[in-house]
Structure formats: C-alpha cells, structure tokens
Amino acid sequence: MSVYSLGIWIVKPGREGDFVEAWREMADWTTREMTGGEKGTLLRDREQPNRFVSFGPWDSVEAITAWRAHPGFRERVGKLREMLDDFSPTTLDDVST
C-alpha cells in the first residue's frame, strides 16, 4: 500500500494564479529531484475558489520526510506561504483501493 502526502491550501484572494504557477514549479522540482514519489495532483474547490487540495503517492513515510526536510522543499513552501492565509499538510495511509 502507498502512503500519500496531502496539503490543504487557503490562498489569499487574488493570488490564485500565482499560487498555481508556484505549486506547479514545486511539483516539477519534486519529480526531478526527489525519489520515492510520483507527480502530485492539485485540485481547486468549486465553491471556495481560493481553497486548493494537493496530494501525491509516495513509496514510504521516509521518502515524504526526506522531501519535506530538503532545503529545496523548504524554499519553495516558503514562497508559497507568502500567498497563503492557511496551509495544512498531512500524511495519509492507503487503507483501501
């Protein structure tokens, strides 16, 4: 079974386009530089258009931990946080497919 990273992102009004662009850059960097993960998915809430949810599968919790501890991740999330009102990251286990 896989383990997943998940983020809930509440973007400051008017910054949605900038956020999507920066998130894509982080996802591309992750795919290029990190092992153990697959390309992530970013979804936008239809009823609350400044709310986004991202998720992606990983081989292990250790791979997620290494990704989140990497200076490149911290730098990119720091830039994203400038556009956010709130960010909630979590790690989830696949229990049924």
Rounded to whole angstroms, how far apart are CA atoms 22 and 94?
A: 27
Which residues lie across from 93 on neighbouring strands? Answer: 3
Question: What SS3 state is found at 80?
Answer: helix
The CA–CA distances, whole Å, from 47 to 50, 51, 52, 74 equal 9, 9, 11, 30
| Mean pLDDT value of segment 3-32 | 97
User: Where residue 1 falls among pLDDT bands split at 50, 70, 90?
Assistant: low
Instruction: Note the pLDDT of residue 97.
Output: 75
User: Where residue 96 falls among pLDDT bands split at 50, 70, 90?
Assistant: confident
User: Where residue 58 falls among pLDDT bands split at 50, 70, 90?
Assistant: very high
Give tens-digit pLDDT for 70-94.
Answer: 999 999 999 999 999 999 999 999 9
Rounded to whole angstroms, how far apart are CA atoms 84 and 65?
A: 22
User: Where residue 2 falls among pLDDT bands split at 50, 70, 90?
Assistant: confident
Return the CATH architecture of domain 3-91. Answer: 2-Layer Sandwich (3.30)
